[in-house]
Structure 1
Amino acid sequence: MDMFFAYLLIASATPLFLWLDNKKVALSSIPPIMLMWGFFFFYMTNRLSPTGHSLMVVLFILNVIIAHIAAFFIYGLPLIRKHSRQ
C-alpha cells in the first residue's frame, strides 16, 4: 500500500507537468487520479469491498499506462523528431 500511495502522490502531479506539452493526455489523467484518491480514502477507512479493491488495482494500472504515454510524449517523441530531422 505504501507504493500505491507514493505513486498516487506522483500521479497527482502528472497533469501539471503535461499541461504545456499535451493537454489531452493531462486532462485524461485527471479522472483516474480523482478515483484513485477516492478508493484510497475508502481503503484507509476499511470500507472498501473486494470489488472496490479490484477496481483500485485497475485504476492503478490505468494510471501507470497513462504515465508511460506521458513520458513518451515528454521525452521520447522529441528525441525521435530530433533524430528523424538529421
Structure 2
Amino acid sequence: MIERKQLKDRTQVTFVLPADTPEGPVSVVGDFNHRNPAAHPLEPQGDGTRTAKVTLPAHSSHSFRYLAAGDYWFNDEHADHHDGTNSRIHT
C-alpha cells in the first residue's frame, strides 16, 4: 500500500507492507534515493505493518522497487502503474 500526505510543495509518501510478507528485512529502492538499499529500510509499526517514509517534490513521478532478503526484488501492486521492471508513483 502507498499513502500520500500533501505538504506545502512536497508530498510525503509512506510505503507500507505487512510485517511478515516477505519475511526478513525489506527496503524501498528508487530513483529518489539513488537506488541505495540502505537509504529507506521499512521499519516495523505497532499495527502489524512496516513502513518507510520518503518526502518527494510535489507533481513528480518516480520509479521504485522493493528489495527483500536473499536479493528478492518485487514491485508494489498498489503503485500508480508499472513500466516493465519498476513500479511508478506520482506525487
State TM-score, norm by structure 1.
0.26
- Bigger fraction of residues in strand: 2
Query: Which structure carries more helix by proportion?
Result: 1
